């Protein structure tokens, strides 16, 4: 489910309440996360630091007297959720992992079990794989340079996290529609003005989605168990057969690189 705005939403919410809380215990409830079992004994008493996003991962630092012991890096993949459960409250969903805190618990719930949690100890491992859209280094020129001579379709190119990180299927479809660019267009064929437009629309749409706490298409929930409201603003994603809000043509869905692409043949080229 989660792309950059959803991960950012979760990280911001957790950052308001988690820093300073003490980890009392760690329960691994899914054998797929058995690699974390050795941490259960060693991390007791550690203090949570500032929570942030790196690419599509949520980073939870664990500290000791101000020095960082390491970072839990959570990738939510399709159905992962980080849910904060206050003292005494019932667990809203089956959890794969439970961090017991001095007050309450943080659950990692994840129906499809694709999500990952890694214990990182080297700062270099925290870096996102590609350019973050909000990184000052991510400029229209930098994007154009990265895509120079790329023949890959624009959509596949943008989904590759090693280039730009944070975009997923929903936001790529929405950004390309906003720019009037076809998902099938070769990435290396854009003019400088189109890269400027893409850069601007990418940031605008992601920022708007963050303000709306993300998109709940089927199962995204934030750390409070609430849905995001950006779904109401979708122009093309999931709207095959509907009229394009801009030109009125019928929105199409076609499979591209094994995934659905939604776009408007009337105004995207």
Partner DNA sequence: ACGCAGACCTGTACGC
Partner DNA sequence: TGCGTACAGGTCTGCG
* Footprint of DNA (CB under 7 A): 1-3, 6, 32, 55-56, 75, 77-78, 111-114, 150-153, 156-157, 159, 161, 168-170, 187, 214-220, 228, 256-260
Going by C-alpha positions, the residue among 116, 145, 113, 109 that lies closest to residue 221 is 109
Catalytically active residues are 2-3, 56, 259
86 versus 91: smaller Cβ distance to DNA: 91
45 versus 94: smaller Cβ distance to DNA: 94
23 versus 156: smaller Cβ distance to DNA: 156
Q: Please say whether the dihedral angle defined by the alpha carbons of residues 248, 249, 253 and 257, taken in this order, is positive or negative.
A: negative
Integer angstrom CA distances of residue 61 from 24, 58, 156, 176? 15, 10, 32, 35
3-state secondary structure of 25: strand
The DSSP code for 86 is -
Smallest distance from the beta carbon of 55 to DNA, in angstroms? 7
The full length of the chain comes to 269
70 versus 168: smaller Cβ distance to DNA: 168
State both tokens at 122.
Answer: 């080297």
- The full DSSP string for 193-234 is HHHHHHHHHHHHHHHHHHHTT-B-SSS---TTSPPPBGGGG-
User: From CA 79, how far away is CA 228, in angstroms rounded?
Assistant: 14
Taking a C-beta distance cutoff of 8 angstroms, is the pair 179, 118 a contact? Answer: no
45 versus 260: smaller Cβ distance to DNA: 260
Smallest distance from the beta carbon of 147 to DNA, in angstroms? 8
In our burial notation (b when 16+ CB lie closer than 10 A, e otherwise), range 68-97 reads ebbbbbbbbebbbbbbbbeeeeeeeeebbb
Smallest distance from the beta carbon of 266 to DNA, in angstroms? 21
Smallest distance from the beta carbon of 6 to DNA, in angstroms? 5
3 versus 8: smaller Cβ distance to DNA: 3
Smallest distance from the beta carbon of 243 to DNA, in angstroms? 19
Smallest distance from the beta carbon of 209 to DNA, in angstroms? 10
Taking a C-beta distance cutoff of 8 angstroms, is the pair 237, 174 a contact? Answer: yes
State both tokens at 267.
Answer: 């105004």
């Amino acid at each position: 489910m989660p792309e950059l705005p959803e991960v950012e939403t979760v990280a911001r919410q957790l950052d308001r309440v988690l820093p300073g809380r003490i980890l009392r215990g760690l329960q691994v409830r899914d054998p797929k996360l058995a690699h974390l079992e050795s941490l259960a004994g060693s991390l007791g008493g550690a203090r949570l630091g500032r929570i942030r996003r790196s690419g599509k991962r949520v980073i939870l630092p664990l500290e000791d007297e101000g020095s960082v012991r390491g970072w839990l890096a959570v990738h939510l993949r399709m159905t992962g959720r980080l849910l904060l459960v206050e003292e005494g409250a019932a667990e809203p969903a089956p959890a794969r992992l439970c961090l017991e805190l001095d007050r309450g618990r943080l659950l990692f719930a994840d129906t499809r079990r694709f999500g990952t949690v890694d214990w990182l100890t080297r700062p270099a491992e925290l870096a996102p794989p590609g350019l973050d859209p909000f990184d000052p280094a991510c400029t229209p020129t930098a994007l154009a340079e990265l895509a120079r001579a790329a023949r890959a379709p624009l959509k596949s190119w943008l989904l590759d996290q090693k280039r730009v990180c944070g975009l997923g299927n929903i936001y790529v479809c929405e950004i390309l529609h906003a720019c009037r660019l076809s998902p099938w267009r070769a990435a290396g064929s854009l003019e400088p003005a189109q890269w400027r437009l893409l850069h601007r629309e990418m940031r605008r749409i992601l920022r708007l989605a963050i303000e709306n706490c993300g998109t709940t298409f089927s199962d995204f929930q934030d750390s409070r168990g609430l849905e995001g409201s950006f779904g109401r603003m979708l122009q093309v994603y999931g709207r095959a057969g509907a009229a394009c809000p801009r030109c009125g043509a019928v929105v199409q869905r076609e499979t591209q690189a094994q995934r659905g692409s939604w776009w408007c043949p009337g105004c995207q080229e």
